[in-house]
Amino acid sequence: MTTWLSDLWTENHWVRVLAGVLIVGNLVPGLVAFLVWLERRVAAWIQDRVGPNRVGPFGLLQSIADLVKFIFKEDVTPGHVNKPMFLLAPALAVIPPLVVMSLIPFSENLYIADVDAGILAVFAFSSIGVYALALGGWSSNSKYALLGGVRASAQMVSYEICLGLSALAACICAGSLRLKGIVIDQSDGLLVAGIHHDGFLAKFFDWNLWKQPVGAVIFMVAGFAETNRLPFDLPEAESELAAGYHTEYSSMKFALFFLGEYAAMVAISSLFVTMYLGGWTLFGLEHSFGGSPVLQAALQVGIFAGKVMTLLFVFIWIRWTLPRFRYDQLMRLGWSRLIPLSIAWLVVTVVGKELLR
């Protein structure tokens, strides 16, 4: 049985693609539901509270209860909105993160699409997400929602620049635009003084986190801004804009914006793991089950998922630790600090790559 399954996995590409589709289409929404529970528990832990503990063991079914609440809430579409755009915006919030996840390699042989210019495709699809917030604010025909949409557009466009420049530096370092190629480059070991080192520590320090430390920090900060998470959640600042761009939304349309935010967190975390943390690799342990391709793929997916969950915990931890920036501080940080720094780091990377050739 195991041999038959291994042969099917190795010889049939569509089986691996189907497995990737199941991960993106089912596990990512399931992970979002888990993240909603995790965020509440971590927030309670940081603030010395109890958190959800009534619905199911440890409150694990609280997210399902919330979903049921959203489904049965009255679905109101105000009469003053631009209805086609009003209905399109929530869908645009969810689709781009799922498409980005379809381009991420979860293991050496488990992915939906291995695109030669994968990082360019990622940014092409992720940039569509800004339309969801802009259209949601504009189509609502409300001054609060419109200001939230304008804020979101300015913020996401600004931070996409430094996000792209930092990712480009990592691609130059790896010599590839393929996401799978970038991961493989981080598992080859280090070349020190003309000698190739392939040991435990060499594989660890071959991660782009150590070769591209400035780029990794810029990418992470820009990732927080791209996903509108604290301390950069200005588009939905309750103190002055009510709920921001989704003020006029209710029921499942509001839930789709919520789902899109957490799906974007998963996508950014997965991209960071791929670009800077070695993807599915872990000190050479990813090949521990060399005789069974299925078990090896399961191990690599587990390694990848563990790294992603660690980053998602950091996202939640930061949210409940740091205060919100003012909007002028947010834009000054992007345009006056991060963009010049990312350009300078890109130049350093190109020069260093040429000198080490």
**How far lies 36's CA from each of 60, 73, 249, 306, 350, in Å?**
10, 19, 19, 18, 41
Residue 235, pLDDT above cutoff 80: no
Three-state SS annotation for 17-58? HHHHHHHHHHHHHHHHHHHHHHHHHHHHHHCCCCCCCCCCHH
Q: Percent of the chain, pLDDT > 70?
A: 87
Nearest to 279 by CA among 303, 312, 313: 303
Query: Residue 1's pLDDT is what?
Result: 44
Query: Which 3 state secondary structure label does DSSP give 197?
Result: strand
pLDDT at 111: 80
pLDDT of residue 154: 85
338 vs 197: which has the higher pLDDT: 338
What number of other Cβ atoms are within 10 A of residue 193's Cβ? 5
Q: What angle do CA 316, 317, 320 make, to 5 degrees?
A: 90
- Compute the average pLDDT of residues 12-38: 76
Return the pLDDT at 215.
Answer: 92
Report the distance separating Cα 110 and Cα 180, nearest Å. 10
Cβ atoms within 10 A of the Cβ of 243, count?
Answer: 17
pLDDT reading at 109 higher than 50: yes
Distance from C-alpha of 254 to C-alpha of 248, rounded to nearest angstrom: 9
Write out the DSSP string of 158-183.
HHHHHHHHHHHHHHHHHT-S-HHHHH
Weakest mean pLDDT among 100-109, 226-235, 340-349: 226-235
The dihedrals phi and psi of 311, each to the nearest 5 degrees, come to -65, -40
How confident is residue 269, by pLDDT bands cut at 50, 70 and 90? very high
Reported pTM: 0.90
> Averaged over 115-136, what is the pLDDT?
86
Domain that holds residue 36: 2-355
Q: How many domains does the chain have?
A: 1
Q: Give the per-residue pLDDT at 189.
A: 63
Checking if the pLDDT of 259 tops 50, the result is yes
- pLDDT in the model for residue 268: 93
Question: pLDDT per residue over 78-93, tens digit each?
Answer: 888 888 888 898 888 8
The predicted structure's pLDDT at residue 340? 93
Lowest model confidence (mean pLDDT) among 147-161, 204-218, 278-292: 278-292
pLDDT at site 341: 94
Nearest Cα residue to 25 out of 263, 220, 294: 263
